[in-house]
Amino acid sequence: MVLHTFRWSFLATAIVLVAALLIGGPQATAIVAILAVLEISLSFDNAVMNATVLERMSPHWQKIFLTVGIAIAVFGMRLLFPLLVVGVTAGLNPVTVVDLALHHPEDYAAHLTNAHPAIASFGGIFLAMIFLNFVFESRDVHWLRPLERALAKVGKLEQLSVVVGLAALLSASFAVESRHRIPVLVAGAAGMATYVAVSSLAKLFRGADDDEDVVALPPESDLAHVKVPGALVKGGLFSFLYLEVLDASFSFDGVVGAFAISQDIFVITAGLGIGAMYIRSLTVLLVREGALAKYVYLEHGAHYAIGALALILFASVEYEVPELLTGLVGIGFIAVALTTSIVSNRQRSRAALAVLVEPR
């Protein structure tokens, strides 16, 4: 199962590393490999979050996520989107931006770094809204029981997550230098509007009874022949867009940080693109293995990791935050959630066995 699921990622890794060796030599190959490892280590929580959405999508949209979605993640979010950001924030035309990226990478990196406060604000508020809506929602399974029960009670207040998100955005904007204040506020408002629009439209078209839309990921040979009704197509579209914005929120900070390792946009895209493919493969593996149902606290750990990442993004507007810290926080929450899930499963198994062997 693992080899089958990751086969395209393994193939892409081999092709890209060989191409890097032939074109750029051993040094370029090593940098591509390092960037791929960094991207994977920073995005375990992204894979879990992707799985929570993907398992609710129809096979048709699961296929689109695994094909078109990969192209968008690799070339769109990690190559074209940074070029677009530099063009918009610096007021440059596309030709000039491409020329900077190809022939003046230091200037391109400087423009990208200048755009970081706005991007961090957009991604930070988007991730914060995901976290807040999760912890304010009533649920049957609790990980940090006292805290989550208390937050669920408070969460009964209408639109509390929006209020808290706006308060966090305002606090972050007043904590930064005055020259960053307006970009942070505008980008943050855009991030919140994007979250509300995409998530609301996805729920609207998915319908009130979500259970009818839950479809396990079938074998790839079956995917091309799946037909879905119009409402589900629209729901799948907005869920797909939600996943792509989520990926952008996770990935763009890594794109900016990658310039500390290399200033060649093609080397950066190659390395981060390999990492993105492995995250997609890991997402598929989680869905096919039913990992979220098997390890019940994984979803909780991913959401707490997202909450921590949102805080890190807001902090990065004003302070230098090491990439290592970002990666360790995400991996830490996932590891603890997985461990506590395994312990809980063993405890339930022992309790069930004790009931079976109890003398009557």
Domain of residue 156: give its range. Answer: 2-357
Classify residue 358 by its DSSP letter.
S
pLDDT tens-place values along the chain, 360 residues long: 677 888 888 998 999 999 999 998 898 899 999 888 888 877 777 888 888 888 888 788 888 887 888 888 888 888 888 888 888 877 888 889 889 888 888 888 888 888 888 888 888 898 888 898 888 888 888 888 888 888 888 877 767 888 888 888 888 777 777 777 888 899 889 988 888 888 777 676 655 444 444 444 454 444 444 444 444 455 677 788 888 888 877 777 777 777 778 878 888 888 888 988 888 888 888 888 888 888 889 889 889 988 888 888 888 887 887 777 777 888 888 899 999 999 988 888 877 776 666 655
CA gap 360, 356 in Å, rounded: 10
CA gap 62, 288 in Å, rounded: 12
**221 CB contacts (<8 Å, ≥6 apart)?**
none
The count of structural domains within the chain is 1
Say if residues 238 and 231 touch (Cβ distance below 8 Å): no
CA gap 357, 343 in Å, rounded: 21
Say if residues 279 and 43 touch (Cβ distance below 8 Å): yes
